Structure 1
Amino acid sequence: MPRVVDHAQRRAEIAQTVWEIIATDGIGAVTLRTIAARGGVSMGRIQHYFPTRDAIVQHALRALIDAATEANPVPAAPSDTLRMLLTHAVPHTEAQRLGSKVWYAYLAEAITDPEIAAIVGEALQGGEDLATTTLDGDRARARALLAAADGFAYRTLVGVITAQEAGAAIDALLAAPAARPEVTSE
């Protein structure tokens, strides 16, 4: 009787291996050979699922975004939604640290790789749209808050601040009144 193979599980295992390579050695280190060696599988198995290195790297990025979306469901309360959007990238655990390292490596890669830029851009746009909706259409505030949160996340990642300090800074941003443009009459 033929063995039943879970193809989705195999793709997930390959993505996990790619994340581990990116987290330790960067995206440039992702090759069929390194994936096979680190994953303990043959290069043929990898090529069975992905025709090119770029296809693997892009699949792993989409899988990372899907995993982050699944781990951070949208809360019912708008204030909780905004806090989740601003804090989800701040690494509190080793698994979150790995995810953040991989995400920021993809952000850097997006600067020169149009396919990666399109995937990253779509994810960032989705978060911005959700933040804007949560803030009753205030896209400028959504962008400012998300940009500040990105800064707290990478500062946490490199050890400049702790996750707790990042969370406190984000809470302070959320508690601050939104700056409104001054209206003058002429």
Structure 2
Amino acid sequence: MPKIVDPGSRRTEVAEAVFRVVVTRGLAQASLRNVAAEAGLAIGSVRHYFTGSDEMIEFALEVFIERVSVRVLARVDDVRAASSAEARRAAVEELLAELLPLDDERYTECVVWLAFADAARTSPRLQPLLRKLYDGTRMVIRKVLERSAASGNLTEGLDIEVEVERLGALIDGLLTDGVVQPDRMTPELSRAVLRAHLDSISRSAG
């Protein structure tokens, strides 16, 4: 009998190969041919699922967004379940740390994120997906800060909208520096900077 291939699994397998090509050679090299070779597939097999490289890359970005979202939302549940201010503060730090290149998996994701973000600047097809990820990140940050404010854990008088963008910009900067200058912006330093910022807006810091 011919081998039955699950289309969803195969498409995800191709997306994984896109990520590996992006990390090692850059997004510009994520052609159907190169990705097929990386996945160990015939190029005809990849063309069976994607009409071209644009569709393939768009799907890979959708897979990327879903993967990061699932992990971050799991951390949101940890924040909600925290039984004390100290536990909540630690859970918030772990949630935001999911967006930084602190280990091999997250480093790879951050490299992919920067590559997609750069490509989206000139790609109308990718712009809505990058906006979705950007807006989703800001939404999570806003919810975390609003919950902390409601619990009395933030310094009084903070403008939440400004703080959302300030914390988002900090994460964006740490992510970028952690990818392009990993010898300077080490995981330990990234965590220290994030922790110092959270301390600076917490009630205990005032």
**TM-score range relative to shorter protein:** 0.7 to 0.9
Give distance in 2, aligned partners of 1:37 and 1:126: 33
Mapping of 1:31-70 within 5 angstroms?
31-70=31-70
Deviates more, 1:47-56 or 1:70-79: 70-79
> C-alpha distance in 1, partners of 2:124/2:91?
30
Q: Tell me the residue number matched to 1:162.
A: 186
Deviation at 1:100, TM superposition (A): 1.0
In structure 2, C-alpha distance between the alignment counterparts of 1:173 and 1:125, rounded to whole Å: 21
SS at match of 1:115: coil
Q: Deviations over 1:142-175 (max 9, x none)?
A: 1110111111122122222111110111011011
Deviation of 1:82 (Å): 4.1
Matched with 1:143 is 165
Q: Does structure 2 retain, via aligned residues, the 8 Å contact 1:86–1:146?
A: no
Where do residues 12-31 of structure 1 align in structure 2 (5 Å cutoff)?
Answer: 12-31=12-31
Which stretches in structure 1 are left out of the alignment for 5+ residues? 179-186
Aligned mates of 1:29, 1:81 — CA distance in 2: 38
Query: Which SS does the other structure have where 1:127 is aligned?
Result: helix
**Residue identity in the other structure for 1:172:** A
Aligned equivalent of 2:77, options 75, 78, 85: 75
The answer to whether the 8 A contact 1:128-1:143 is kept is yes
| Correspondent of 1:124 among 114, 123, 134 | 134
TM-score normalised by L of structure 1: 0.87
User: Could you tell me how far 1:133 is from its partner in structure 2?
Assistant: 2.3
Q: CA deviation at 1:84?
A: 4.2
Q: List structure 1 segments (4+ residues) > 6 angstroms apart after TM superposition.
A: none
Contact 2:15 2:59 in 1 (8 A): yes
Instruction: Please give the alpha-carbon distance, in whole angstroms, between the structure 2 residues aligned to 1:113 and 1:119.
Output: 11
> Could you tell me how far apart the structure 2 residues matched to 1:115 and 1:80 are?
38
How many residue pairs were aligned? 178
Return the TM-score normalized by structure 2.
0.79
Structure 2's unaligned 5+ residue stretches are: 81-88, 147-158
Provide the residue aligned with 1:113 in structure 2: 123
Q: Alignment RMSD, CA only?
A: 1.9
CA distance in 2, matches of 1:127, 1:80: 18
CA distance in 2, matches of 1:82, 1:46: 40
1:83 to partner: Cα distance: 2.7
Give the direction of change, closer, same or farther, for the CA distance of 1:38–1:10 in structure 2 (3 Å limit): same
> Within the alignment, does 1:171 sit opposite 2:195 as a pair?
yes
1:115-144: CA deviation from partner (whole Å, max 9, x where unpaired): 211101111101112211222282220111
Q: Is structure 2 residue 25 aligned with structure 1 residue 3?
A: no
Whether contact under 8 Å (1:14, 1:46) holds in the other structure is yes
Which has the larger share of helix?
Answer: 2
Q: How many angstroms apart in 1 are the aligned matches of 2:70 and 2:90?
A: 16
Taking the aligned partners of 2:94 and 2:121, their CA distance within structure 1 comes to 26
Structure 2: distance between partners of 1:33 and 1:16: 15
Contact 2:103–2:187 under 8 Å retained in 1 = no
